[in-house]
Structure formats: structure tokens, C-alpha cells
Amino acid sequence: MIVEDTALDGVKIITPKKFGDERGFFSETYTQSKWDAAGLPFRFVQDNHSLSAAIGVIRGLHFQSAPFAQDKLIRVLRGRILDVAVDIRRSSKTFGKHVALELSSDNWRQLLVPIGFAHGFCTLEPNTEVFYKVTNYYSPQNDRGLAFDDPDLGIEWPFPISDVQANARDRSWPRLRDLVDMFE
Ligand SMILES: Cc1cn([C@H]2C[C@H](O)[C@@H](COP(=O)(O)OP(=O)(O)O[C@H]3O[C@H](C)C(=O)[C@H](O)[C@H]3O)O2)c(=O)[nH]c1=O
């Protein structure tokens, strides 16, 4: 398992080992003892799985407010995404900054997005399936979001905003400057 830092403190790229042979491959995609040994003492309690049929589907930018805030570990089972994490920790030196990187079933990379960040992705292929583990349970009352097309974030989505398919609900989410439920 390779653990790499990103420009945002706490957001990490995790790449598990893949054993290939003539049949295909085998990979331990999550091993608690390896995470503990790497100083990543997260405890995930829920697995999520989404399918997006089209290219240019944007999901997010989501987060859950306290006390249901979630750390997330995202990976792609099929297809490709541009995965994005935005720092919404008010006192952070990288507040409002984001990282964006491609996760795919080919590069086998996973992204660890800790509490304090909004998360979203845009699909880069049809029929993309995303699987992610979270450290707290779903709480609709605590489901929050940040406008993915907030110009202050400067996220370079791979398609014109007019062409993306986003959940209508997500479109009503606030810009960063109007966000209330942030983290310290
Ligand atoms: C997140 C979630 C949703 N749901 C139900 C609620 C809705 O009826 C339906 C679709 O939910 P939503 O439109 O919020 O799904 P996405 O737009 O894919 O949002 C997710 O994808 C972005 C990228 C994230 O990072 C979030 O964790 C997550 O909210 O599933 C559940 O029953 N449990 C859950 O944990």
C-alpha cells in the first residue's frame, strides 16, 4: 500500500498493491492493520456505491455537518472520475483550496478525504461505478453541500458547466462565501 500526501493536509492518495496473473488480479483494497500501521486510524462504518450512466455527471460537492461528519475513502470500481476535495476548515491555511485528481479502475488509486472537506466528482466515462467507505452514518438532516460551480473555488471541471448533469438539489447549494456549516 502506497500512501501519498497531497497539497491539502490530511487528503491522501492510497494505492493498494495489485497482484496480477494470467487469470486477472487480486488486491486487498482495504486492510485495517495496514492503515493502523500507516498512522491512519480511521474506522469506517458504512460502504456506499454509486453508478453514473453518463459522462459529465457531477456528484457533490457534499459533506455532512457535525455530529455526523464523515471521513471518506473513495475508489472507482469501473470507469474514471475527476475526484475533488475542497478545504472548508475556516482556520486552515488552505481554506477554499482544492485538489482534483483522476481516480480510475486502471490507476487503482483511492482518495482519503477527511472530515473538514467537501467532496465531489465528475465522471469521465459512461457507466462509472464509485465505491466509498465513510466513518459515520448517513444523516439526511446533516447532509450539506457546496456549489460545485462556485467561481471562487476555481475548480476546472472537465466539461462546460452547461453540459454537466448534476442533481437538481445540488444546484441549490451555497457558494463558499455563503456557507454556514463549515469546520474550524
Ligand atoms: C449519501 C447517501 C444517500 N442516500 C440516499 C439519499 C438519496 O435518496 C439517494 C441519492 O443520494 P445523493 O443524491 O446524495 O447521492 P450523491 O449525489 O451520489 O451524493 C454522494 O456522492 C458525493 C460525491 C458524496 O461525497 C456524498 O457522500 C454523497 O452524498 O441515496 C442514502 O440512503 N445513504 C447515503 O449515505
Q: Which domain holds residue 38?
A: 2-178
pLDDT score recorded for residue 47: 98
C-alpha radius of gyration, the chain, whole number? 16
User: Hey, how many other C-beta atoms are within 10 angstroms of the C-beta on 53?
Assistant: 10
Note whether residue 183 is domain-resident: no
pLDDT score recorded for residue 4: 98
pLDDT, one tens digit per residue, over 146-179 is: 999 999 999 999 988 888 877 755 668 999 999 9
Contact between 58 and 120 (Cβ < 8 Å)? yes
Note whether residue 27 is domain-resident: yes
Q: Name the residue at shortest CA distance from atom 32 of ligand 1.
A: 138
**What does the block give as the cell for 148?**
460545485
Instruction: Give the nearest ligand 1 atom to 64 CA.
Output: 27
How many domains is the chain built from? 1
The ipTM assigned to this model is 0.96
CATH code at position 152: 2.60.120.10
The catalytically annotated residue of 49, 62, 98, 138 is 62
Instruction: Give the nearest ligand 1 atom to 113 CA.
Output: 25
Q: What parts of the chain have a pLDDT lower than 70? A: 168-171
How far apart, in Å, are the Cα atoms of 37 and each of 8, 86, 109, 126? 22, 27, 19, 37
Note whether residue 184 is domain-resident: no
pLDDT score recorded for residue 180: 85
